[in-house]
Structure formats: C-alpha cells, structure tokens
Amino acid sequence: MTADQSALSAPSLNGDVERAADAADAADGVLSPAYRALTLGIISVVSLVAFESSAVGTAMPVAARALDGIGLYAFAFSAVFTAGLVAMALAGEWSDRRGPLAPLFSGIAAFGAGLVIAGGATSMGMFVTGRGVQGFGGGLVVVSLYVVVGRAYPERLRPAIMASFSAAWVVPVIVGPLLAGTVTEHLGWRWVFLAIPVLILLPLAVMLPALRKLPRTEPGPDAGVRQVLGNRRCLLALAVAVGACLLQYAGQHPAWFALLPAAAGLALLGPGTVRLLPRGTFRAARGLPTVVLMRGLAAGALVAAESFIPLMLVTQRGLSATLAGLSLTGGGLTWALGSYVQSRPRLEPHRERLMGLGMALLATAIVLVPLVLLDGVPVWIVAVAWTIGGFGMGLNISSGGVLLLKLSRPEEAGSNSASLQMSDALGNVTFVGLSGVLFVAFGGGSIAAGTEAGGAVGAGHPAAFVAVFAAMAAVAVVGVAVAPRLRRV
C-alpha cells in the first residue's frame, strides 16, 4: 500500500473504530439496562433541584411582600449558600467514612422539608429558615451524587453522566420561570414551594434498587456521628458560613458599628477558605488544586456577570424584565450542548484543553456583553454572547467534574467533590460581592435608585457596568492562563 493509499483509507478505518465505540456505548452506556434506573433517578433529582432554583426567583418578590420581609430579602438567597457550604463539607466526610447513601437520602429529605417550611411560612424569619434547610439538603445531595457517580459508573461513562447533569437543567431553565409565574399568579406563591416535595418520591423509588447495589463502605472507628460532625473540615465550613453571614450583615448596614462584624467575618472567612480547599489551590498547583481553582473562577465569573445583565438591559436599553431574562436562556441550552461535546470518547485525551477552551469562550462572552451599551449595537448581541459563554461553561464545568474523579483516590472522592462544590460557592459569593463593590464605586448606586423610582437615570452611568464586566472577563482570563497546570506533569 502506498503512502497516498494509506492516507485515503485512514478516514474509513477511523470511522469504523468510532462506529464500533459508539455501538459499545449504546450497548453499555448510561441508559443501558445496567445503569438506566440510576441514571434516570439522578437526572430526575437534578431536574427538581434545577426547577426550584430557576423558579424561586419568580416567586421570591411576591413571597417577601406577602410576609412583610423585604428587609430580609437578600438573606433568603444567602441562606441557601451558607447552609449549603456547611452541608457540602459534611457530605464529603460522611460519604468517605460511611458511603454516599445516607447523606444522599438525608439531603433529599432536608431539601423537601425546607420547601415545606418555606411554603408554609407565616413570617419572613420562618421563610429564611426554610430556605436554609433547603440549602443544607441541596448541599448534601450535590456532593453525594458526585460520589455515587464515582462508585457506580466506570471511568469511560463518567463524562456522559456529567453531561446529563447539565442536560437536566435545560428544561427547568426554560419553563421554570414561566411555570412559577403562572402558579404564583393563579394559585399563590406558596405552591411554587409546596408542590415540589411530592415530586421527589418518584425519583427516589426509581433509583433506590440501583443505589442498594453500590459497594458498601464499612464504618471505621472514626465514622461515628460525633467524629463526622466534629471533623476539622466541617468546623471550618461552619466558620466560613458564619463569616459570610457577618460580612453580608455588615454590607447591608454601612455604619461604624458594622466594622466589628465585618472584621469578624473576614477573620473567619479568609483562613477557613484557605484550609477548606486542597493545598495549593490559590497558587494553582498542578493537577487537582488547579481543577478546583478553575471551577471557582468559572462559576464566580459567570454568576457575577449574569447577575448584572438584566439590570443593564432594563436600565440602559429599555427592555422589559421578561425580555432581559430571556436573553440568558440560550446559555442554558448551549451549556448542555457543551457538556455533551466534552463527553465524546475521542475528546477524552484533550480534557485539560477543553477546560481552557471553555474559559476562553466565557471570557469572550463577557467581553462582548457590554458592547450593548453602544447605541448602534443591537440588543441581541447579549443573547449571542451568552450562548457562547454557555457552551464554554458546558465544556469547563463537566470536564472539571470528570477530572476531579480521575485525580481522586476512592477514599477521597467525597471530600474532593465537596471541595469542588465549595469552590463554586465561594467563587459565587466572592465575585458577586466584588462586582457589587465595583458597581457602586463607578456610580451604580444611582442606577439602582433610579430603577426603584421607575426612572431610567442609569443611562448616564455605563461605566458601572463596564467595570463589572471588565473585572469578570479578567477573572476568566486568569482561568485560561492557569489551564496548562491542570496536567500533573
């Protein structure tokens, strides 16, 4: 065979190999009989969590007004984060020492109980408490599911199941706000919370038989309740959560007496964060620490930028709140597409590059968004930009989960999964807070005031938005720069 003939026949040979691999995946994939029940159960649980997350923003203003609790409005959101942070650390230790089943089912139960408490609340304090219980349950669930994936699925199927995590968000992101608005308007805001716990029973019944087949973890001498709850990581997570609450309180009370809780919050948050994440995370040490760092950078940059897009479109370009929100919908769809792309077996050797590419696409999207501040630029540029960013996040987030499990020893999968989720949460609170400071520093306070008054006085302060997006683009660029350190060698 000549060199030319070899070159011509290579595509055919590669195609045969790829078709054989696809056939093998179909016969023994995540939806094959061996894994179907567990996969469908996982997707159902994630979908319910996603629906609640996407729908609650629609019902929250109505609930806060009904409970006369506008002053605690922000705490209804932050309670989920702070309680979830503690739960993530607890779930990691609990899963490593006793297996993922107990924290998973406890998390589902707490998530449902929190929804019931919030839906039946008679005061805003009770509502915030319910949101905290709900966040605690969600933190247990998300870490436990990562451990279940690591134990139940072989390594070659993990990219596909990670992609299904993202795919499970697609429908809730699209229909959640619309359905929640309809329920709130016709039945009342309480049913947005009270209807979901009933739906949890079906996925539990579907995946319970498969979960019982997972390898059992024999409790060791340090696997008692006191040892787990009193573990150093759990105590550190509690300190970080308290620190975040104190900082939020100080931020909402800009007076001299707020300096004391602010200082105490920083004293708890800073050292606790450094000790919770893997050693070397903040200096981008090769391998696992860089995976954890990049997840926090990606999640924080995206959430911070996304938080200001609707406000910018409403105050600077005169869009309705509905249209401004719809401009972000495409990102959820392309996120799922990116997750699917990274799950292809032929891309497995390039997983580290996929994460770097994802960060580059996110940076590009964030840079494109503030172009809408120019009068000659059409408003749909934001929707286009966010579809690009969503695809990048799909590549990055799912690949990060796969790499984490690949780089973790089985007995460390729980704690490392918790570190990954905590990095997401810490990135969110850090960069959203930073964006808020920049926004006010560059004149954003008058924009917010004008919006509340029903005016459009923010039109003269585009620098506030530019500062936010420029900072978050820089965060994404840092992620691109550290991506080569994902490889251990």
348-386 pLDDT, tens per residue?
Answer: 778 888 899 999 999 999 999 999 998 888 989 999 999
User: At residue 463, does pLDDT exceed 90?
Assistant: no
Q: What is the structure's pLDDT at 72? A: 67
- Position 446 confidence tier, pLDDT thresholds 50, 70, 90: low
* Sign of the alpha-carbon dihedral angle for 96, 102, 104, 108: negative
Q: What is the structure's pLDDT at 325? A: 66
Residue with more model confidence, 280 or 202:
280
Q: Is 121 left (phi over 0), alpha (psi -120 to 50) or beta?
A: beta
How confident is the model over 125-149, as a mean pLDDT?
87
Contact 286, 487 (CB under 8 A): yes
Out of 161-175, 260-274, 279-293, 336-350, give the one with best mean pLDDT: 279-293
How confident is the model over 314-337, as a mean pLDDT?
76
Residue with more model confidence, 250 or 218:
250
Residue with more model confidence, 357 or 49:
357
User: At residue 2, does pLDDT exceed 50?
Assistant: no
How confident is the model over 211-232, as a mean pLDDT?
60
Lowest mean pLDDT among 101-115, 116-130, 244-258, 261-275: 244-258
Lowest mean pLDDT among 157-166, 214-223, 367-376, 431-440: 214-223
Q: What is the structure's pLDDT at 225? A: 53
- Position 248 confidence tier, pLDDT thresholds 50, 70, 90: low
Q: How far apart are CA 46 and CA 158, in angstroms?
A: 16
Q: Quick one: tokens of 219?
A: 């409790």
Half-sphere exposure of 43 (CA within 13 A, CB side): 18
Predicted TM-score (pTM) of this structure: 0.66
Mean pLDDT across the chain: 76
- Position 23 confidence tier, pLDDT thresholds 50, 70, 90: very low
How confident is the model over 175-193, as a mean pLDDT?
78
Tell me how many degrees the CA angle 206-211-217 measures, rounded to the nearest 5: 165
Q: Quick one: tokens of 186?
A: 């016709």
Q: What is the structure's pLDDT at 230? A: 55
Amino acid at 70: I
Amino acid at 436: G
- Position 21 confidence tier, pLDDT thresholds 50, 70, 90: very low
276-287 pLDDT, tens per residue?
Answer: 788 888 888 888
Out of 170-184, 227-241, 317-331, 471-485, give the one with best mean pLDDT: 471-485
Helix pair 158-167, 329-342: axis angle to 10 deg: 170
DSSP state, 28? T
SS3 of 32, please? Answer: coil
Residue with more model confidence, 370 or 216:
370
Residue with more model confidence, 460 or 50:
50
Lowest mean pLDDT among 75-84, 208-217, 309-318, 331-340: 208-217
How confident is the model over 238-258, as a mean pLDDT?
71
User: At residue 77, does pLDDT exceed 90?
Assistant: no
**b/e per residue 331-342 (b: at least 16 CB within 10 A):** bbbbbbbbbbbb
- Position 32 confidence tier, pLDDT thresholds 50, 70, 90: confident
Residue with more model confidence, 335 or 252:
335
Contact 452, 346 (CB under 8 A): no
Q: How far apart are CA 147 and CA 149, in angstroms?
A: 5
How confident is the model over 19-44, as a mean pLDDT?
67
- Position 22 confidence tier, pLDDT thresholds 50, 70, 90: very low
**Of the candidates 122, 110, 92, 366, which has an alpha carbon nearest to the alpha carbon of residue 234?**
92
Amino acid at 392: G
Q: What is the structure's pLDDT at 386? A: 92
- Close Cβ partners of 52 (under 8 Å, ≥ 6 residues apart): 115, 134, 193, 196
- Position 462 confidence tier, pLDDT thresholds 50, 70, 90: confident
User: At residue 212, does pLDDT exceed 60?
Assistant: yes
For residue 104, the Cα-to-chain-centroid distance in whole angstroms is 18
- Position 227 confidence tier, pLDDT thresholds 50, 70, 90: low
